With several copies, the nearest count.
Chain A
Amino acid sequence: MAPTKSAFSIKTEHFEGPLELLIELVEKRKLLINNISLASVTDEYITHVSDMQEQSLPNTAQFIALAATLLLIKSKSLLPVLELTDEEETSIHDLEDRLRLYQIYRDISGTIVNEFGSRMMYEPEYTPPREPLFLPDDFCTLPALLEAMERTVTNLPKPTVKQVAKVRATVSLEEMMDSLRTRIEKQIKTSFFKLKQEEAEHKNVIVGFLAILELFKQGNLIITQISKFEDIEIEVDKAATPRYY
């Protein structure tokens, strides 16, 4: 499941939104949209997003938000005993639905690109009237036009500086992974319940948890869950040999 060579080839491409990137990854593998296919493209998705993060690209926050849901799907597939909350189940279900709907619109946009401008239907050319008229109304005074100009200037689109600040404020995946790794190494043994208590924001819990999953996958952690609703115990595998649940 390590990022393949092809993962890097798409990195240079610009994706405007997270759904666009995700559908690209799924379609590239000729997969249907379901939790299995989404789990299988998660690594590649995250590689792309961390790359976007490095370049401080706009909209990265939205990509990271979707990464959290993707990692949730992936963890469930790695760790079937994992109990998801109703809210999490819903967000996974939503993602699949939204992606399927988005896929339809993408197909439509393909036909639009093909048809656009290929069989143009033209309105008649406009020729201004020849008879000289002059019909000013109440809007044709300096004060009225000044007011209209004020309105126009107020409605000019604002430059998009704010979005950059928004990206900075969001937790980055790597930050979360790193802080978790050191914390786990220090404590040797921690539990997911404990982590959950320490993190105020639910989103951070997800990202934190998935970071653990990532470490687990790389073989640096041993994860034990006694039974379905029990706590998940996490410890660093000093020997660093891959162990799977």
Chain B
Amino acid sequence: MPLDVLVEAVLFYKATPQKVTSLQKLFGVEDGDEWRAALDRLQSRLQSGATRLIITDTELSLTTAPELGEFIETLRKSELKGDIGKAGAETLAIILYREPITRAEIDRIRGVNSSFIIRNLLVKGLISREATGNTFQFRITPELLAHLGVSKKAELPRFSEFMNAIDSFSTTPTETV
């Protein structure tokens, strides 16, 4: 069975985002060309159907296509949406373009303590955290991309333009306000 079909099978069966590393381990594949080619094949094969593959740095997930969003909404009993607010969107913007990132770095960019906002984003499943040493690093989740209607973050409007603009600041001094 081709790798792309096997990956699809796991994602379909589990029906929830899966860690890239555990999938690679399951199939005995390295994080290389073979893996990326399989994801590419899966992504393009799904294109003509109802499902889409969401890819983050660490996770994969199978969801309905963004064009079907309104239709699926009519099938749902409960409302899911809700607003994320200014501070939430700002924090997500930073994590999207700078993941993995610590809270201290987020605080520095925003110039304000972000612990409440981060907790709320974690509760909503829009970001995840991983322990590295004695601090946490934050990443985006497939759920966040699902809310934004894109399969990869590079598909976000003006992604590379914003990325370039941010990169030009990568040597910013570390003094705090």
Contacts and interface: CB of A to CB of B under 8 A. Distances in A.
Interface of A: 16-20, 59, 62, 65-66, 69, 90-91, 93-95, 97-98, 100-102, 104-113, 115-129, 132-142, 144-149, 151-153, 155-157, 159
Interface stretch (B26-34, B36-44, B169-177): B169-177
Nearest to A139: B89
Contact of A149 (B15, B62, B162): B162
Which of A93, A113, A159 has the most B CB atoms < 10 Å from its CB? A113
9 contacts: A105-B94, A106-B93, A108-B162, A121-B63, A123-B62, A134-B141, A135-B126, A139-B86, A149-B93
B15 A148 contact: no
Nearest to B80: A135
Which of B54, B64, B149 has the most A CB atoms < 10 Å from its CB? B149
Given A105-B97, A123-B143, 20 more contacts: A18-B111, A18-B112, A20-B110, A62-B111, A93-B173, A97-B169, A102-B109, A105-B94, A111-B156, A119-B67, A122-B64, A122-B72, A123-B16, A123-B17, A133-B124, A136-B144, A141-B148, A145-B92, A148-B92, A151-B86
B149 to A, nearest CB: 3
Contact of B148 (A127, A135, A140, A156): A140
Which of A19, A100, A128 has the most B CB atoms < 10 Å from its CB? A128
Contacts of B94: 105, 149, 152
Contact of A120 (B15, B73, B89, B92): B73
Which of A122, A148, A152 has the most B CB atoms < 10 Å from its CB? A122
B65 interface: yes
Nearest to B9: A122
Interface of B: 12-17, 52, 54, 61-69, 72-73, 76, 80-90, 92-94, 96-97, 108-113, 115-116, 119, 122-126, 128-129, 141, 143-150, 156-158, 162, 165-166, 169, 172-175, 177
Nearest to A124: B15
A133 B123 CA distance: 7
B143 A134 contact: yes
Contact of B166 (A93, A104, A151): A104
A98 B177 contact: yes
Contacts of A65: 177
A125 B128 CA distance: 17
Nearest to B123: A129
B92 to A, nearest CB: 6
A111 B67 contact: no
Contacts of A108: 93, 96-97, 162
